Structure 1
């Protein structure tokens, strides 16, 4: 294509298109790009329209056909107004080429919006009027059918409008000299083939990557070896950690039990609780009584030299010395053992 374009330029002496030819070509391309996505949109609208129409028909709901809707005088009038305003707006947009909207375009867009709203309301009234069916499900499907009809009508109107504009510019382009039209065709071929070439190169790179992933040039540098010693579990480490944690837990548990223990263990604890002004006369240890004696509880009499007897004697002496003064004295005698009495 590039060689054909070069040969034509050499033989014809035309290096580039005139300003008018280039302008017409750009405008045709502009409207072609706008029209391409509308074809897919129209196909989707047609599918939705047929689906909801058949659904309602299968349930015995009669609705207006598409041709009957287009024959409605009010819809015809709204479509004519829509096409006229949309044509003017599209031409403004092509002239400005994305440089922004002027005041006239704002007015046109507002008018188009009002026209499309009126068109939707009219289609709703004809396709899904109130009281069409008492079934809520079928009523909702009738509304969806009206929306699909509205999208189909607008899309067809847009495509028809763009085609008419393209035909207008194509007719102007046909009035150009034959050599310029031939140059324009060759330039289009170059652009098309260049785009195709870039796309094919992208596909080729994707194929190369896929082939490399399937059969890559990979070689083994160093073979993997199985370790004879298991990495996990490390039993020695587990035992050591368990011993340390067990010891720490035992110490913490012992400290907790000691802190929660409020019993009186020895004479020092009693002195600490009673204070320095309250003396302790003495304490009697837990005794193993001699049951062979007539009165086992008389420890001092039965065994006067025993440790228990000495404790009794110490308490007796402390009581004797403590009552020498004439002041009143209060003695507290108590026992932690059950059944021994508390005083």
Structure 2
């Protein structure tokens, strides 16, 4: 069979969003500090108001006390396997994207051994030793990079079925004294990828990834709390928001265009742009910059569905959760149809960014 007829398609998807809803008002009693250890001068009401204006976040989900990232990933994986209508023993690979492993409630200890993929395979009770399970830490673009790796396995003939999971509990590694902590949330999403030979080329058409590390590496990092009275031995997720914003605005739109050019697909053919849900204003600015690269001022209504207002930024889980909501008809006013061309794109720690052009079969 010619390589051009071998397609990597998503045959099932799933998500798990914890039931615990945390609103912006729940942060009113926090004590916020700046990176130098000084209390922020504004009231929490003003801090939260400005935060909501910039990020678009109104509420987010936090894992329950007895849950860790592998639990969330397992529940999303269960749904994806069920939707794909397959025997989990027939999976060739399980790739799990995350960044902090299993962090228990009240702890700052990162637990990554055994790998989360092994833990999830165990929870799924898969006995097949040839179902290879491994983790992929790659910042927020991790799930999309795992999808790209799965695509390679399928295209090479190495595999026929791959489970790709993104799961994270960022609430466990957020500094309560850093206003950026209000961005982060918990959740998991998963898809099953399968190789198909019937019909015209579909699924993953092209992909592109970049890693910029000369000056950008530590813009997202693990550092002590901003509150000098808190133990400085514990590490929390920290970011240079301004530099990340500027990087995303410069790098991601051009990366998407380069990926579309590589696929020989015009922007006008794209029905949806699915961006990592990092920051509402940042995502909107990236989309606007993308259209300007093509000399276009008018952006089609509804082309960029967003979940960040109610789900926050749960890192590697944002894209698969967004995909699953639309694919299963749970996102009002949004749907995928056969033949639709969509773009996935993400940016995050490393600094890493990636994009995938996908055609629905």
* TM-score after normalising by structure 1: 0.21
* Structure with the larger RCO, 1 or 2 (CA within 8 Å, 6+ apart): 2
Question: Which has the higher Rg, Structure 1 or Structure 2?
Answer: 1
Structure with higher helix content: 1
Structure with higher strand content: 2
